[in-house]
Amino acid sequence: MKSAERCRVSRPDLFPLDGQRRCDGLAAVGCVAGGFEPLRKRGDFDPVSTRSALTGLDYFAGKVQS
């Protein structure tokens, strides 16, 4: 999916970036929010679970802090 296609976020007014940087940022926010949604639904706020969700989204494990 192209970043322009992923740039559909319900609150774009929260991110005052312009152009491609804005679209890339909104896409990243949407991706992370989507990754956390299953955890939120089951009330799982354990740091290990959040780390696992982020690394499952291809974020480098060494950079993820929870």
Tens-place pLDDT, residues 2-59: 444 444 445 556 656 578 888 888 888 888 888 899 999 999 989 999 888 888 888 8
Strand intervals (E) in the chain? none
In a domain, 11, yes or no: no
Provide the pLDDT for residue 3: 40
In a domain, 50, yes or no: yes
Q: Is residue 46 part of a domain?
A: yes
Domain that holds residue 41: 20-56
> Is residue 52 in a domain?
yes
The pLDDT of residue 16: 61
pLDDT reported for residue 27: 87
pLDDT at residue 4, as a whole number: 40
Domains in the chain, number: 1
- Name the pTM for this structure: 0.57
Q: CA-CA distances (angstroms) from residue 23 to 10, 13, 26, 33, 42?
A: 13, 12, 5, 15, 30
